[in-house]
């Protein structure tokens, strides 16, 4: 099956990042290279790009997509939480712009063997980096009910987290849960019937009962929130003065982290308001450009429905 990925907010990314010939840019989540392609085009003839992804399969597709740009790009397999070290290994200490387009790509979601989606049957895997040791099935089969409850309620904000966790524990004592379809059926069976009929949950918002559970497991398997915090810190350290940081997120937990990190780095002082004088030595590192996040237009959502929950925040290094 051939699956591609349509980049989200493409014009907006180019407007803010404003790639120039001679500049060096990092795409910290290069995926299939949709955004990078336009960054390289816009920065012709001498703009350069370093693309990072933890997914080897995505990187090999990306390599083909960008090959016309020859030596103007370099792809690195790694986690963006190690961004600073990964750049140092390339002899790079400062860059002109960094883009994060978080989450999974359509390519990953629509490849059943990766186990990211309840819409396809496949192994319950969900690892973005296949070299990581723990697939989703290990978490589902080995975690206590309490840990599962925590994952589903914290990362999925799932109101029936407790019922779903209990049903998983019951089901796995009969047979291990190893496929996406098994888990989807277990989640469906755990949701109270009256809720399945509630217009607000499933018809109006058209959210399948397994959506939040799959999202929560994916976040846990890939340790996404911790990596995001470390990734932003690293990006701030490698940006040149006036360098631009573009962050595209797809759910509220990610967006909250981006917003809080931006607020922290935009402060000139982090002393308690009661402190008589400033003793914190905190230095402002970012200026936030987007007071509110940029959202996708109705037109973009028509062409690319996956873009509907995207939010982009932008800051520049001071
Ligand atoms: C939404 S896709 C990016 C799509 C890309 N902008 C494009 O236009 O093709 C997100 C990509 O980020 C990668 N990714 C997510 N978290 C990562 C992390 N912590 N480190 C490195 N790559 C990550 C995923 O493997 C995926 O390929």
CATH number, domain at 200? 1.10.150.170
Give residue ranges with CB within 6 A of ligand 1.
5, 7, 29, 31-35, 52-55, 58, 79-81, 101, 103-105, 128, 227
Query: Best mutation site among 3, 6, 29 for ligand 1, i.e. most ligand atoms within 8 A of its Cβ?
Result: 29
Instruction: Determine the distance separating the centroid of ligand 1 and the alpha carbon of 118, expressed in angstroms.
Output: 20
Name the DSSP letter for residue 6: P
Q: Which is more confidently placed, 265 or 206?
A: 265
Q: Is the peptide bond before 45 cis (omega within 30 degrees of 0)?
A: yes
Is the model's pLDDT at 201 over the cut of 70? Answer: no
Tens of pLDDT, residue by residue over 177-200, are 999 999 999 999 999 877 655 555
| Beta-sheet strands, E only, within 194-295 | 239-249, 286-288, 294-295
Instruction: Please report whether residue 122 resides in a domain.
Output: no
- Residue 44: its pLDDT value, please? 97
The answer to whether residues 247 and 211 belong to one domain is: no
Query: Mean pLDDT in the chain?
Result: 94
Instruction: Determine the distance separating the centroid of ligand 1 and the alpha carbon of 30, expressed in angstroms.
Output: 6
- Residue 3: its pLDDT value, please? 59
**Local structure of 123: helix, strand or coil:** strand
- Residue 1: its pLDDT value, please? 46
The answer to whether residues 101 and 239 belong to one domain is: yes
Is the model's pLDDT at 297 over the cut of 90? Answer: yes
**For the whole model, what pTM was predicted?**
0.94
The 10 Å Cβ neighbour count of residue 82 is 18
- Residue 2: its pLDDT value, please? 54
Range of 193's domain? 133-221
Is the model's pLDDT at 86 over the cut of 50? Answer: yes
Q: Strand 294-295 and strand 311-317: pairing?
A: antiparallel
Instruction: Determine the distance separating the centroid of ligand 1 and the alpha carbon of 209, expressed in angstroms.
Output: 25
The 10 Å Cβ neighbour count of residue 216 is 24
Tens of pLDDT, residue by residue over 157-179, are 999 999 999 999 999 999 999 99
Domain count along the chain: 2
- Residue 196: its pLDDT value, please? 58
Q: Which atom of ligand 1 is nearest to the CA of 81?
A: 19
The answer to whether residues 206 and 234 belong to one domain is: no
Under 8 Å between Cβ of 288 and 277? no
Is the model's pLDDT at 203 over the cut of 90? Answer: no
Q: How far apart are CA 183 and CA 175, in angstroms?
A: 12
The answer to whether residues 101 and 29 belong to one domain is: yes
Phi, psi of 161 (to 5 degrees): -55, -40
The answer to whether residues 263 and 181 belong to one domain is: no
The answer to whether residues 228 and 217 belong to one domain is: no
The answer to whether residues 208 and 258 belong to one domain is: no
Under 8 Å between Cβ of 59 and 35? no
Among 275, 229, 233, 225, smallest CA distance to 251 is for 225
Under 8 Å between Cβ of 198 and 279? no
Tens of pLDDT, residue by residue over 220-233, are 999 999 999 999 99
Instruction: Determine the distance separating the centroid of ligand 1 and the alpha carbon of 206, expressed in angstroms.
Output: 26
CATH number, domain at 290? 3.40.50.150
Average confidence (pLDDT) over 56-66: 96
Query: Best mutation site among 53, 102, 308 for ligand 1, i.e. most ligand atoms within 8 A of its Cβ?
Result: 53
69: its two tokens: 């740009």
Instruction: Please report whether residue 99 resides in a domain.
Output: yes
Q: How far apart are CA 109 and CA 126, in angstroms?
A: 9
The 10 Å Cβ neighbour count of residue 145 is 15
The answer to whether residues 99 and 238 belong to one domain is: yes
């Amino acid at each position: 099956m051939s699956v591609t990925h349509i980049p989200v907010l493409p014009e907006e990314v180019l407007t803010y990042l404003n790639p120039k010939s001679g500049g060096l840019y990092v795409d910290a989540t290069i995926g299939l290279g949709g955004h990078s392609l336009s960054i390289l085009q816009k920065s012709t003839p001498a703009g350069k790009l370093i693309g990072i992804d933890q997914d080897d399969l995505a990187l090999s597709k990306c390599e083909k997509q960008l090959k016309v740009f020859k030596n103007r790009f370099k792809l690195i397999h790694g986690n963006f939480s190690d961004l600073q070290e990964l750049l140092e290994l390339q002899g790079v200490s400062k860059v002109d712009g960094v883009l994060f387009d978080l989450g999974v790509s359509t390519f990953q979601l629509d490849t059943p063997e990766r186990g990211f989606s309840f819409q396809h049957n496949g192994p319950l895997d969900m690892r973005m980096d296949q070299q990581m040791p723990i697939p989703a099935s290990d978490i589902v089969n080995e975690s206590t009910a309490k840990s599962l409850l925590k994952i589903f309620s914290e990362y999925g904000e799932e109101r029936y987290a407790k019922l779903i966790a209990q049903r998983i524990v019951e089901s796995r004592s009969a047979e291990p849960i190893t496929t996406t379809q098994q888990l989807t059926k277990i989640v469906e069976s755990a949701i109270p019937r009256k809720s399945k009929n509630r217009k607000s949950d499933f018809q109006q918002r058209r959210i399948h009962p397994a959506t939040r559970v799959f999202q929560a497991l994916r976040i846990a398997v890939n340790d996404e929130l911790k990596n995001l915090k470390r990734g932003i810190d690293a990006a701030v350290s490698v940006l040149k003065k006036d360098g631009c940081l573009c962050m595209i997120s797809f759910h509220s937990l990610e967006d909250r982290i981006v917003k809080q990190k931006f607020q922290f780095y935009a402060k000139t002082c982090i002393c308690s308001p009661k402190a008589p004088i400033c003793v914190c030595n905190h230095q402002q590192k970012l200026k936030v450009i987007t007071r509110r996040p940029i959202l996708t237009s109705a037109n973009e959502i028509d062409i690319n429905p996956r873009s509907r929950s995207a939010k982009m925040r932008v800051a520049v290094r001071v």
